[in-house]
Amino acid sequence: MFGRSIRLFSLFGFDVKIDISWLILAFLITWSLAQGLFPHYFKDLTAATYWWMGVFGALGLFFSIVFHEISHSLVARRFGLPIKGITLFVFGGVAHMEQEPPSAKAEFLMAIAGPGSSVALGLLLFIIRTVGRIGAWPVPVSGVIGYLAIINWILAGFNLIPAFPLDGGRVLRSALWKWKGNIGWATRVSSRIGTSFGFVLIAMGVIQFFSGNLIGGIWWFMIGMFLQNAARMSYQQLMTRQALEGETVSDFMIRDPVTVAPELSVKDLVEEYIYRYHYKMFPVVAGQKLVGCINTRQIGKVPREQWLQKNVGDVATTCSNENTIDPNTDIIKVLSLMNRTGNSRLMVVEGDELLGLIALKDIMNFLSIKLDLDQLKS
């Protein structure tokens, strides 16, 4: 669902990040405001003024989305849900929850908090704009404030559309969940509505594009694609959580992993281990003690002509929370760690003792089989 993200700052204990796509799309927003919206509504200003209005309008939209998502996250914290952080997109933001809401009530309150905060912020900005007009503030200032008031109301209204994973779709999911008592069924229904709504937006974008509204068509098309992808991914994530619920590392780990000694040359490691076993990572064991691990990324940093002179111990990394895991850890947390670090194999340890290895492909194979069986049962 998400690409690469950049951490900006921390607010109320939540890391706020932006998806890398923001850097491209933020310019598109600024350009749209500076060359389209503001010149249309505020005549006879200089080109530089329009561009400054566009910049501050885009920044205001960004912070409006932050405010919207922080409201979700604060309510989630109240219900004991851990939030890893917030990632901002041009179309909105996502608060990264490590688990699903505990109840339909919690889901409803979390969902409604975002639009409610946007309505309140829009009202505050509208009051400030009114004060500015009475006080004869410069037109560019009151113009940007007025735009931000309206865009917050639009943000609230758009998010209340009952299409998952929009806030309105989450409100719908909470109602269906409360009705049937089945979060999986509620998510499937609301996700299908979200996917269908995405198709509608894509179709509108195509129509707008060929009708001559180039920018509007591109926006509708991109938002539709984003919603479609988000709806599918949200449902898949829920199914993954439910399928792996209760499973721990000890259920999946390889108990007799292939290990290497620190004095082994990098050349022998590649030729006798990597080419033979086709693993990307090997634990490094000295005697009976685990001292670290070595993977293909580290080997790639060693010039080939030095492979014979360099030993595994010279290149290996030490054990850390990035490459080791406790045998009793929940599998969902393992997947989260693998996703964050890019490691597809983790060492299972207890103290200094290597108990085994856990591999992403083994978890995925189990997940595929279990989902297939669940579909047959339904």
166-180, 229-243, 358-372: the lowest-pLDDT one: 229-243
More confident position, 233 or 65: 65
Q: pLDDT, tens digit, for every residue of 92-121?
A: 666 666 667 888 898 899 999 999 999 999
Domains of the chain: 5-160 (no CATH), 249-373 (3.10.580.10)
In terms of pTM, does the model score above 0.85?
no
Q: What is the pLDDT of residue 153?
A: 95
**Which pLDDT does position 90 carry in this prediction?**
53
Instruction: Find the catalytic residue in 69, 98, 107, 353.
Output: 69
Q: Where does the pLDDT of residue 364 fall: very low under 50, low under 70, confident under 90, or very high at 90 and above?
A: confident
Q: What is the Cα–Cα distance from 349 to 134, expressed in whole angstroms?
A: 68
Digit-coded pLDDT (tens) for 19-48: 776 777 788 888 889 988 899 899 888 999
**What is the per-residue pLDDT across 301-342, written as a single tens digit (0 to 9) for each?**
999 999 999 999 999 988 888 889 998 888 888 887 887 788
**Which residues, in sequence order, are CB contacts of 308 under 8 Å at separation 6+?**
265, 266, 267
Active site includes 322?
no
Q: Residue 2: pLDDT above 50? A: no
Contact in structure between 291 and 276 (CB atoms under 8 Å): no
**Residue 264 clears pLDDT 90, i.e. is over it:** yes
Taking 80 as the threshold, does the pLDDT of residue 370 lie above it? no
What's the pLDDT band for 1 if we cut at 50, 70, 90? very low
Using the predicted structure, report yes or no on whether residue 378 has a pLDDT greater than 60: no
pLDDT band, very low/low/confident/very high, at 269 (cuts 50, 70, 90)? very high
Burial class (CB in 10 A: 0-12, 13-18, 19+), 233: middle
